[in-house]
Structure 1
Amino acid sequence: MRDLIERLYREHTLPPDKLRILLTQCDEEHLTLIRQKACEVSQKHFGNKIYIRGLIEIGNCCHNDCYYCGIRRSNSHIERYRLAKEDILACCEEGYNLGFRTFVMQGGEDNRLTDSRMIDIISTIRKTYPDVAITLSLGEKDTRTYQQFYEAGANRYLLRHETHNEQHYRLLHPSGMSLSNRLRCLNDLKQIGFQTGTGIMVGSPGQTVDHLIEDILFIESFRPQMIGIGPFLPHHETPFSDRPAGRLQQTLLLLSIFRLMHPQALIPSTTALATLLPEGRELGILSGANVVMPNLSPPQQRYKYALYDNKASMGAEAAEGLKLLDDRLKAIGYAIDKSRGDYFEETTI
């Protein structure tokens, strides 16, 4: 096992049979080792700096009905909301004054959020704050829409593929959605010029080691600039309400694997990880993550963006909690970096 970890550290890749061994036989001792190696690589490229992104959850209305998601169309017990343009701009103003230089606008696939409205919001933010990075996480769109978002001033786009296995994808999504379209979207985003992020839920219902190997190999070939992974967390108003959450150890192992395979990728320590365990954010950073996304959304709306139960959105997970976040990062030897933190092409370690 030690030889496999050293090989991954040196070569940034492993064949599928070796990945299987790593995923199935990594005990606590070797998990500690691979996390140390991942931190070593992360610190080589980024020092002890952790990039912060201001997360703005612009609405929880969605026409999709994904079986794992709390804001799915069929959830009739959720209080829906949409932020007005003025509300979004107020979030940006607050974030900019706090030092954020990246805004992440995230929302459901909302038919009432037309392309023209979104383009207007993006272009206004770009004109008002020309030095910031604008990241979108708004789901599947057609090629022309992505192009218009890019031309309006958006720089980055997050779209997790969730699983690269067709059968597993169908288990998690209704028939109107397809893996082929999700992959088409990701390819469009890269070709247009977005810094593109994808990723998976760890421990999602029906996920197997074979699926994880397929995901690792897909991400290796796709070479995203951002890799977002976090544990599956159930929501009580979904078909998967009784499924167990993804395991912490497996999530940390995969974070470390992705850091060793993609030394310069932007890898968040996710809100889901902080929700799974109070110190989850710190554990993610100590496994190779180098991004956190404090919540800039209006406090009275945050509980409504409930992708899963008990989502962490206050304290060190909130933009107004930057001092607390900074203190917690300092306690593990890291510090906030408020710059844009752009991705640069990888060089050999």
Structure 2
Amino acid sequence: MSITEKLTSSSPEDISTRSSTMTPEEILNWAEKAPTPILKKAADLVCRTHHGDKVWLRGLVEISNTCIQNCLYCGIRRDNEKVNRYRLTEEQIIETVKTGYDAGLRTFVLQGGEDGYFNAQRMERLIGNIKNLTLGEAALTLSLGIFSKEVYKRWKKAGADRYLIRFETSDPDLHLWLRDGVTLKERLEALKDLKDLGYETGSGFMVGLPRETAEIRRNNALLCRELELDMVGIGPFIPHPQTPLKEAPQESMDLCERSVATVRLLLPKAHMPATTAAGSLDKKGREKVLAGGANVLMPNITPVMVKKDYELYPGKICLDESGLECMDCLDIRVRTVGKRLSKGKGGAWVKVPSIEVSTGSET
């Protein structure tokens, strides 16, 4: 019996035990053949081995829906004239973080479109104020797009701990088309700059994009491994009616579940959120991925008055209440999959051996 045949017949328990010594190709070959429940069980066992039953909470603050980019899939793209644009003031952002901090949250994510208003100096001041407010006890994650290495360095010095830039697809041509001319190389270079500066670094991808193939999904997972990510966000593509991709087909939740589980096997110690997009596509979407490898939830604590305007995709959940009001609901949800909430920082993981992965050539 060949190695592939032996792996194919292995149980989830066997795979979860052996995955640390399997090559990425062996993991992917097994994952691609495994039924979804078996794949998810193996991923859940690996997740529990490294993270226990904890689900880390990150308070998400969407600081601006103004964006200079024109990504084909995004509801707040530059050319969407139907968006009610907003920017939170520095005072509003600080007050929102304070409310979350007082409620026990110890990690905050400031996310926004690529908005020139939040420039190097303004963010530097804001980061410092937040770190002072939280007495250095809270981790601060930024997700604001591509900037120069020097800007990232200033923000790190001011107190930023983590940075998220999703690559969305590992295929250079698909990336170029979806992001309206922005290259995959640019995003990967930004991720390298962040890692060089000592940030805990996060990225990830959408599942079910137009023109996506099984090979691209496989390379998405491999790229996450090659980048040695501390955090990986994976969510379903949901067509937005005010974008050029409004008529694109919607893939099933199963595809997203399988991608999360596969990446968990490749990156056992990474932090992986059960995304709001998963919960928007499927009422039980977050529970499904928490049962198959995810270990993070990001309650949206953005002020309710603007939450509805940060519509990257339609049908976004929890828009009419503060994320802090959802804590009891989230606690119940995670308990249904045998896990429990944790408000701590949740730290980075130990690096895995590097592998080679090809992302093709830029055009």
Q: TM-score per shorter chain, which class?
A: over 0.9
Q: 1:131 to 1:214 in 2, by over 3 A?
A: same
Residues 302-341 of structure 1 correspond to what in structure 2 (within 5 A)?
302-314=307-319, 318-341=323-346
Q: Is the 8 A contact 1:315 1:321 kept in 2?
A: no
Length, aligned pairs only:
343
SS in 2 for 1:82: coil
Q: How far does residue 21 in structure 1 lie from its aligned partner after superposition?
A: 6.8
Match of 1:301, SS state, is: helix
- The answer as to 2:87 corresponding to 1:76 is no
What are the residue-to-residue correspondences of 1:26-175 with 2, within 5 Å? 26=34, 30-129=35-134, 130-175=136-181
Aligned-partner Cα distance in 1 for 2:352–2:91: 42
Q: How does 1:125-274 map to 2 (within 5 A)?
A: 125-129=130-134, 130-175=136-181, 177-274=182-279
Aligned-residue identity in percent: 35
Shift in CA distance, 213/347, structure 1 to aligned 2, threshold 3 Å: closer
Residue-by-residue CA offset, 1:105-126 (whole Å, 9 max, x unaligned):
0000001222111111111001
Shift of 1:14: 4.4
**Contact preservation (8 Å) 1:135, 1:156:** yes
Q: CA RMSD in A?
A: 2.0
Write the mapping of 1:271-282 to structure 2, written as runs, cut at 5 A: 271-282=276-287
Question: Counterpart of 2:234 in 1: which secondary structure?
Answer: strand
Amino acid at match of 1:260: L
1:98 CA drift (Å)? 1.1
The normalised TM-score by structure 2 is 0.90
Work out the CA distance in 1 between the residues paired with 2:84 and 2:255: 33
Q: How far apart, in 1, do the equivalents of 2:224 and 2:140 lie? A: 23
Gaps of 5+ in 2: 1-7, 354-363
CA deviation profile, 1:166-207 (whole Å, cap 9, x unmatched):
1111221212x1111111001001000000001000001111
Asked whether the 8 Å contact 2:228–2:352 carries over to 1, the reply is: no
- Residues 108 and 138, structure 2, Cα contact 8 Å, conserved in 1: yes
2-side partners of 1:315 and 1:272: how far apart? 16
Q: CA deviation at 1:2?
A: 3.7
Q: Distance in 1 between matches of 2:185 and 2:193?
A: 12
Q: Does structure 2 retain, via aligned residues, the 8 Å contact 1:65–1:73?
A: yes
Amino acid at match of 1:89: I
In 1, Cα distance between the equivalents of 2:84 and 2:260?
Answer: 33
Secondary structure of the 1:300 match is helix
Compute the displacement of 1:44 (Å): 1.4
Contact 1:198 1:228 in 2 (8 A): yes
Displacement of 1:332 after TM fit? Answer: 2.3
Query: Partner of 1:19 in structure 2?
Result: 28
Given that 1:104 and 1:135 are in contact with CA atoms closer than 8 Å, whether structure 2 keeps it comes out as yes
TM-score, structure 1 length as denominator? 0.93
* C-alpha deviation, 1:218, in angstroms: 1.5
The amino acid of 2:148's aligned partner reads: D
Q: 1:7 to 1:307 in 2, by over 3 A?
A: same
Q: 1:140–1:4: structure 2 CA closer, same or farther, 3 Å change rule?
A: farther
Contact 1:169-1:179 at 8 Å conserved across structures: yes
What is the DSSP-based 3-state SS (H/G/I as helix, E as strand, rest coil) of the residue aligned with 2:166? coil
Tell me how far 1:214 sits from its aligned partner. 1.7
Deviation of 1:240 after TM superposition, in Å, equals 0.4
- Following superposition, the deviation at residue 314 of structure 1 comes to 4.2
Structure 2 distance, partners of 1:170, 1:20, is 28
8 A Cα contact 1:155 1:194, kept in partner: yes
2:296 is aligned to 291
